[in-house]
Amino acid sequence: MNVYRFSLILVFLCGLAIWQITQIPKSTLYDAVGASLVPKFAVGVFTFFVILYIYQSLSKSKKLPDIADNKNEKPLKNTVNRLSFFLAGFLLFVLLVKPFGFVFSGSLCGVGISRSFDTKISFKSFIISFLIAASVWTLFSVILSVNLGPAFSFKL
Amino acid sequence: MNYFEQLINGFGTALSPSILIYGFAGCLAGTLVGVLPGIGPALTIALLLPLTFKAPAVAMFVLFAGIYYGGMYGGSTTAILLNTPGESSSVVTSLEGNKMARRGLAGQALATAAIGSFVAGTIGTIALTFFAPIVVSVALTFGPAEYFSLMVLAAVSVTAVLGNSVIRGMISLSLGLIIGLVGIDLQSGQPRFTFGGVMELLSGVEVVVAVVGLFAVGDALFLAWQGREKSKKTVIISPKNKWYNWMRKEDWKRSWKPWLRGSFYGFFIGALPTGGAEVPTLLSYYTEKKLSKKPEEFGKGAIEGVAGPEAANNAAAAGVLMPLLTLGIPTSATAAVLLSAFESYGIRPGPTLLTQQSNLVWTLIASLYIGNVILLILNYPLVGIWVKILKIPSQWLYVGVIIISSAGVYGNGRSSFDLALLFFFGLIGYFFRRFDFPAAPLIIGLILGPIAEQSLRQALIIGMGEWTTFVTRPISATILFIAFVLFLSPFLINFYSKRKKTI
């Protein structure tokens, strides 16, 4: 990923926003400011500044900031690996929280995230993640009465 | 009943044991999140928003105020001892504070920061007490057109003045606006940005999901991508050096003026629509450097360089509350989340808040006075504990942050879609941090967008559909003119500095 590729993501977001503007149905009621006026303005401003950003990223006179270019902040090797473990851990949590409950899915998520910080996947990392997830569930569900669902569940 | 009597009543409520416990818990939690890098008051308050359905408004706002003030106090501890500012507003403190600590003056640096924070927090709260009713009396003359213009000014100035680039700031702001408009339009009932009527999007994007995703998940993703942990070289304070000996006579002499100057900068700049604590802390630092009798000490650990910015930082926290409580306009990410908390109670901050919710407002202000005292007492004895917490290996710290964040979002409605959305915002947060985009404009756009649209509609209805209503009303026109000048100012400064170089 670099500034150009990030610009492409912004262009994609612009495209999505413009497409969504065309999907806003016309109101049958009279309104000084219709449902689409402010969205059109917001998307217009977004598109305009994204174009300026792309122009800046292509112009050779000014280099846009990317932390990856900074000597002191440069990432270490295996960035893709680390980000993949983070994504996998979080995805597991999203998919499993309903069928398996908060604590089990939270523990798996914890293992993935700790792996993304270069901790080896082991029984120890699972136990620490389990303890963290169980403590958070107790704090929110039992003490603060926030409904996180069951700690464990096996509904497939 | 006059404002003074209402303040006394506020003290009566704030000092009742049940509310005092909330205040104490808020200060403790706030200091903790201020100490930990990557977790700030905005995120913590956002995580606690689900609790607003369970606790009374007064108790929750006293808790939130404690978190807000505590966060400002906590940031300085790690800035001084570890050279790791917990908050962006503590960056300036670390410049001189950590140098002092390495010279064996950690006690003095911590003491001047804590006492300065107390002095400035108290001055800021006194100023808020006296100026808020004045601003309210002016704001009562405002109509929807003036409000709309004020929101434009707040959004533009936060975007143009605080960030490193107007273009990146505007991308962040407009993206926030678009996200804020997701869902059913309350006026016409039309769905907007819902991708063909995705059920979960019809009610809009929850602020808590955006804030937690941007700050907590984004930060963790960024650090995982970077894969390097900054060395945590803690400065140890000798146990023989008792806290009550930390400030010597000379330190008091060198600190009191910077505290007062910092308080002045912090409150008045914090209360402007630009808000934030970064500008007043920097201004205070450079003023102290210029006025110091020992300028050669700057860069090596000058006590004035800690006293002034820390005072400015805390006074700005009170200043930011002024436009929020009196005009309903948030000028920082934390203020934006607080506005969202008010809305979850069905309370709309603005000039009528002081009359319609006087007990809530004056209890909140009284709790700020009490919170300052609690924080002063808490800060000294707990320094050792905060430092120990920072010794937790970062992988487990971030596992905890992500699981707590997920719990805060999931507990809001037990929706897996919200968790997926949390991750989407996490990705935005990661890209923003990596490519130097400011996150605060996105949050402000997200929260102010729908409110500004409402004001725009009301103004146009009153103005019989005439768009000129915004420029024919003198106050509205002046505010829009200031917003326009502020928007152009970075480009003009850039242009003139380039021209000067070529000449």
Tell me whether residues A102 and B414 touch, CB distance under 8 A.
no
Which residues from chain B sit within 8 angstroms of residue A29, using beta carbons?
188
How much is the CA Rg of chain A, to the nearest whole Å? Answer: 23
% of chain B with per-residue pLDDT over 90: 9
Minimal C-alpha gap between A155 and chain B (Å): 15
Amino acid at B198: V
| Domain coordinates in residue numbering, chain A | 3-69, 79-143
Q: Which two tokens stand for residue B503?
A: 């000449």
A101: left (phi > 0), else alpha (psi -120 to 50), else beta?
Answer: left
Which has the higher per-residue pLDDT, B35 or B264?
B264
Which residues from chain B sit within 8 angstroms of residue A143, using beta carbons?
none
Would B97 be classed as within a structural domain?
A: yes
Cα dihedral B438, B444, B446, B448 sign? negative
Minimal C-alpha gap between A124 and chain B (Å): 12
Could you tell me if A54 lies within 8 Å of chain B, comparing CB atoms? no
Determine which of A29, A92, A113 to mutate to test the interface with B (most B C-beta atoms within 10 Å): A113
Helix orientation angle between B57-82 and B333-344, rounded to the nearest 10 degrees? 160
Map tokens 């999203």 to a residue.
Answer: A94
State the pLDDT confidence band at A69, using cuts at 50, 70 and 90: confident
Query: Residues B323-351: what's their mean pLDDT?
Result: 85
Question: Alpha helix locations (H) across B292-414?
Answer: 304-327, 333-344, 353-356, 358-389, 394-410
How many A×B Cβ pairs under 8 Å?
190
Would B34 be classed as within a structural domain?
A: yes
Tell me whether residues B423 and A94 touch, CB distance under 8 A.
yes
Could you tell me if A92 lies within 8 Å of chain B, comparing CB atoms? no
Give the C-alpha separation, B366 to B45, whole Å: 19
Give the C-alpha separation, B367 to B24, whole Å: 10
Minimal C-alpha gap between B188 and chain A (Å): 6
Report yes or no: B347 and B353 within 8 Å, Cβ to Cβ. Answer: yes
**Mean pLDDT highest for which of A58-72, B128-142, B150-164?**
B128-142
Query: Residues B344-348: what's their mean pLDDT?
Result: 83
Tens digits of residue pLDDT in B14-68: 889 988 898 888 888 888 887 776 677 887 888 777 776 678 888 888 888 888 8
Could you tell me if A23 lies within 8 Å of chain B, comparing CB atoms? yes
Determine which of A94, A98, A115, A135 to mutate to test the interface with B (most B C-beta atoms within 10 Å): A94
Name the domain count of chain B: 1
Q: What is the pLDDT of residue B458?
A: 86
Candidates B204, B237, B249, B173; CA nearest to B483 is B173
Query: Residues B375-399: what's their mean pLDDT?
Result: 78
Report yes or no: B53 and B87 within 8 Å, Cβ to Cβ. Answer: no
State the pLDDT confidence band at B165, using cuts at 50, 70 and 90: confident
% of chain B with per-residue pLDDT over 70: 92
Tens digits of residue pLDDT in A12-28: 999 999 999 988 887 66
State the pLDDT confidence band at B228, using cuts at 50, 70 and 90: low
% of chain A with per-residue pLDDT over 70: 92
Could you tell me if A69 lies within 8 Å of chain B, comparing CB atoms? no
Q: φ and ψ at B192, to 5 degrees?
A: -130, 135
Helix orientation angle between B41-48 and B17-35, rounded to the nearest 10 degrees? 130
Give the residue on B whose Cα is nearest the Cα of A6.
Answer: B431
**Which pTM value belongs to this model?**
0.83
Q: ipTM exceeding 0.90?
A: yes
Would B200 be classed as within a structural domain?
A: no
Q: What is the pLDDT of residue B257?
A: 92
Could you tell me if A119 lies within 8 Å of chain B, comparing CB atoms? yes
What ranges make up the beta strands (E) of B154-230?
A: 183-184, 191-192
Q: What is the pLDDT of residue B449?
A: 87
- Range with the poorest average pLDDT among A26-30, A44-48, B10-14, B451-455: A26-30
Containing B442, the helix (H) or strand (E) segment is helix B440-462
Residue in B170, B227, B449 nearest the CB of A79 = B227
Q: What is the pLDDT of residue B275?
A: 65
- Range with the poorest average pLDDT among A131-140, B257-266, B300-309, B485-494: B485-494
**Domain span including residue B256:** 3-180+241-393+441-502
How much is the CA Rg of chain B, to the nearest whole Å? Answer: 22
Map tokens 């010597």 to a residue.
Answer: B248
Minimal C-alpha gap between A136 and chain B (Å): 6
Q: What is the pLDDT of residue A29?
A: 63
Q: What is the pLDDT of residue A28?
A: 67
Q: What is the pLDDT of residue A155?
A: 65
Tens digits of residue pLDDT in A81-121: 888 999 999 999 999 998 899 999 999 999 999 999 888 88
Could you tell me if A94 lies within 8 Å of chain B, comparing CB atoms? yes
Could you tell me if A66 lies within 8 Å of chain B, comparing CB atoms? yes
Q: φ and ψ at B184, to 5 degrees?
A: -75, 130
Longest Cα–Cα distance in chain B: 74
Helix (H, G, I), strand (E, B) or coil at A122: coil
